[in-house]
């Protein structure tokens, strides 16, 4: 009997070792990590360069509280990160995870508004479905009822607009009119709420767990940027999943002309080696806050040297191995192969993604887009079948958690064509078994 508790579902095998894209349990069974954990292990497992950097840092110091010491590791990582951001986003605030990064972004936006005499601005518009984290502030902007419903009395539910799921609405995502149609829902919401009350809009550039690799339609991101600017609203990019090369560019938002005011990152930054996240803000937001006494926010472990040394080594590995480019090339191949599976299996109703953030969605009927009945628990059953074959993939229910199933296929960015073959073989065999 374990003293741990996470979820209701059963116990899992005990992890023994992990190297590159593979993991082994204590019985010696090998798994291909087709989801990088939860889209975390971007540079693969047990990367020797990262481990060496961590060992070196551990031998020097593992913790220095940020109010007592500057550390070389945090300075270097901040400089490196700022260099990877759009021009002007050069103020970095370290945290230990994605929810903390989101909280930090929301609080920075609010403190900036207060510091600049815009006290009326406090609402943060987000999308439904979306996932921005499990702390109460991050939940307030999360559009995913199964996770928010039990806690609504404890939080301020923020306004939501629909995520642009063109494939469900029968619209052409390559047509700019589609992008504008969905983006203009933001403007409509701003007008309903009262523009002077709206502080920020938070968005995942490519949807993650909640929508299953949802790529915005053409024109959407640019129009979102333009609407935010026109109404004096800050644009927060939640790059917790998309950042650090996952979509084939360093930031997911780098694919569009939609410069964020604030970027939040985590998963691929610590890459499974350390708990690490970062909130990176435009200098113009930070200056008035610092002028008025500083940011009223901070976590004990923020910027600790071990986490930062690992993060720096991860970013160096992404650069040295050209992993953004590899994610783009391998992702294109993977997407094409997933489309091949869609030809073969009627059950797959949609395939989508960017770089190595890819997904397919099960449908009961392709024409009507009807989902499979929730009672089938299809996404979990499929994941279990693949897992039994030694392939790890990640699944969720889409459509606000009530029905619809998607499977995310997001291996480490170091994958090669042979690994993609192996993933497709595992999916094919699991789909065949599932369809019986």
Taking CB atoms, the residue at the shortest distance from ligand PMP is 98
Name which position in 187, 204, 261, 282 contacts ligand PMP (CB under 6 A). Answer: 204
> Interface with ligand PMP includes 99 (CB under 6 A)?
yes
| Minimum distance, C-beta of residue 324 to ligand PMP, in the bound complex (Å) | 19
237 near ligand PMP, rule: CB under 6 A? no
Q: Using CB under 6 A, which of the segments 53-61, 126-134, 165-173, 388-396 binds ligand PMP?
A: 126-134
CB 141 within 8 A of CB 219: no
In the complex with ligand PMP, the residue whose CB is nearer, 102 or 315, is 102
Buried b (16+ CB within 10 A) or exposed e, 10-44: eeeeeeeebebbbbbeeeeeebbbbbbbebbbbbb
- The minimum distance between CB 42 and ligand PMP, in angstroms, equals 13
Nearer to ligand PMP, 133 or 426 (CB): 133
Q: Rule CB under 6 A: which of 363-422 touch ligand PMP?
A: none
Binding ligand PMP (rule: CB under 6 A), the pick from 209, 310, 385, 420 is: 209
Site string for ligand PMP, 241-280 (x = CB under 6 A): x------------------------x--------------
Is 97 among the residues that bind ligand PMP (CB under 6 A)?
Answer: yes
If the CB atoms of residues 127 and 225 are measured against ligand PMP, the closer one turns out to be 127
Candidate list 131, 256, 382, 394; residue touching ligand PMP; CB under 6 A:
131
Q: Which of residues 8-67 bind ligand PMP (CB under 6 A)?
A: 38
Could you tell me the CA-to-CA distances from 30 to 27, 198, 397 in Å, in that order?
9, 50, 27
Interacting residue ranges for ligand PMP, rule: CB under 6 A: 38, 97-99, 102, 131-133, 204, 208-209, 238, 240-241, 266
């Amino acid at each position: 009997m374990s003293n741990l508790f996470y979820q209701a579902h059963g116990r899992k095998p005990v992890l023994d070792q992990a190297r590159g894209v593979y993991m082994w349990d204590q019985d010696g069974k090998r798994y291909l990590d087709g989801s990088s954990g939860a889209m975390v292990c971007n540079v693969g497992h047990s990367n020797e360069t990262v481990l060496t950097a961590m060992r070196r840092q551990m031998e020097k110091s593992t913790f220095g509280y940020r109010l007592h010491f500057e550390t070389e590791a945090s300075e270097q990582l901040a400089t490196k990160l700022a260099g990877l951001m759009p021009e002007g986003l050069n103020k970095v605030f370290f945290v230990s995870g994605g929810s903390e990064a989101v909280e930090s972004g929301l609080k920075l936006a609010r403190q900036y508004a207060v510091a600049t005499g815009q006290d009326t601005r406090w609402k943060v518009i987000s999308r439904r479905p979306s996932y921005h984290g499990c702390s109460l502030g991050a939940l307030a902007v999360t559009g995913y009822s199964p996770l928010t419903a039990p806690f609504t009395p404890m939080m301020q539910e923020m306004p939501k607009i629909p995520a642009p799921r063109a494939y469900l609405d029968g619209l052409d995502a390559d047509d700019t009119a589609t992008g504008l149609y969905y983006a203009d829902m933001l403007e409509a919401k701003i007008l309903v709420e009262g523009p002077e009350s709206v502080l920020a809009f938070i968005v995942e550039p490519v949807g993650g767990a909640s929508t299953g690799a949802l790529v915005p339609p053409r024109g959407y991101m640019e129009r979102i940027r333009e609407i935010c600017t026109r109404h004096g609203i800050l644009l927060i990019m939640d790059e917790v999943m998309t950042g650090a090369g996952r979509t084939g560019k360093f930031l997911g938002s780098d694919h569009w002309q939609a410069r964020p005011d604030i970027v939040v990152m985590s998963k691929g930054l610590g890459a499974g080696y350390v708990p690490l996240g970062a909130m990176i803000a435009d200098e113009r937001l930070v200056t008035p806050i610092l002028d008025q006494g500083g940011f009223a926010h901070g976590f004990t472990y923020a910027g600790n040297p071990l986490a930062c040394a690992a993060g720096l080594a991860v970013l160096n590995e992404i650069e040295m191995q050209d992993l953004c480019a590899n994610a783009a090339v391998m992702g294109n191949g993977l997407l094409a192969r997933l489309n091949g599976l869609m030809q073969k299996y009627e059950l797959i109703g949609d395939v989508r993604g960017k770089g190595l953030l890819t997904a397919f969605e099960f449908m009961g009927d392709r024409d009507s887009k009807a989902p499979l009945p929730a009672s089938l628990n299809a996404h979990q059953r499929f994941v279990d079948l693949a897992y039994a074959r030694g392939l790890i993939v990640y699944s969720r229910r889409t459509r606000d958690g009530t029905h619809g199933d998607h499977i995310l296929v997001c291996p480490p960015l170091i994958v090669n064509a042979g690994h993609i073959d192996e993933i497709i073989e595992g999916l094919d065999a699991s789909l065949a078994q599932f369809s019986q």
